[in-house]
Amino acid sequence: MDKKELRKHLLTQRQNLSRDDRAPLDAAILARLTELPEVQAAQTILLYLDFRGEVESDGMIEYCLTHGKTPVAPVTFKEERKMIPVRITSLADLREGAYGIREPLHLPELEVSIEQIDLVILPGVGFDRKGGRLGYGGGYYDRFLPKLRPEVPKIAVAYEMQVVESVPLEPHDTLLDALVTEKGVWRRTSPA
């Protein structure tokens, strides 16, 4: 399957999960994620605001807010195909941005420089256990991730049903360091 076909297949499958199916999976993923040493060590964490049936992220943001960490989420600029990291001060202060994705209010004082980010937690459409990620086809994360400090861990969260043997990759695709699902944590063993 090429990227386009795999995307379609995996999105259909994910949309078939009901709210009741998801809740225990979201809870298991959150528990595994917050136990990771990378999460414990990080101060400023780039997260995402879930849409279209992605692993629920409000719990991750709450965790950051109650544990003295700084949660940040992307504000997306469609014309420039660009994401800017902005601090989330409260889950109540979000608006609907590009693609209908919730985002923090883009106040200048809440903008975070990319060098400040210690860890990235990212969603996606499909993943493999070798660091491969399939997004929605915009390439937003592929353009953003290389700008991070090189040692910053990039960790994906996904339901086990989103994991395939091998995601088709192109040279611009950025490999991830780890994948967390309801079943466990996988770390990339091959070099990036």
Question: Which residues define the annotated binding site for ATP?
Answer: 3-7, 133-141
CB proximity list for 40: less than 8 A, separation 6 or greater:
34
The dihedral through the CA atoms of 43, 137, 57, 122 has a sign that is negative
Q: How many CA atoms lie within 13 A of 165 on its CB side?
A: 1
* CA angle (24 as vertex; 37, 52 as ends), nearest 5: 90
Annotated binding-site residues read 3-7, 49, 54, 133-141
Identify the residue among 3, 9, 102, 188 touching ligand ADP (CB under 6 A).
Answer: 3
Which of the choices Mg ion, ligand ADP, none does residue 3 contact, using the CB cut-off of 5 to 8 A by kind?
A: ligand ADP
81 versus 187: smaller Cβ distance to ligand ADP? 81
Residue 169: name the closest of 143, 140, 119, 130 by CA. 130
173, 22 in Cβ contact below 8 A? no
Which of the choices Mg ion, ligand ADP, none does residue 63 contact, using the CB cut-off of 5 to 8 A by kind?
A: none
- Minimum Å gap between C-beta 62 and Mg ion is 29
* Interacting residues with ligand ADP between 84 and 143 (CB under 6 A): 134-139, 142-143
75, 48 in Cβ contact below 8 A? no
Under the binding rule (CB under 5 A), the answer on residue 142 touching Mg ion is: yes
- Minimum Å gap between C-beta 85 and ligand ADP is 17
- Stretch of 40-48, 52-60, 90-98, 168-176 contacting ligand ADP, by CB under 6 A: 168-176
Under the binding rule (CB under 6 A), the answer on residue 173 touching ligand ADP is: yes
DSSP run (H or E) holding 75: strand 70-77
Which of the choices Mg ion, ligand ADP, none does residue 19 contact, using the CB cut-off of 5 to 8 A by kind?
A: none
d(CA 71, CA 103): 12
d(CA 165, CA 32): 22
* Interacting residues with ligand ADP between 47 and 66 (CB under 6 A): none
Binding site for ligand ADP (CB under 6 A): 3, 134-139, 142-143, 170, 172-173
Binding site for Mg ion (CB under 5 A): 142, 173
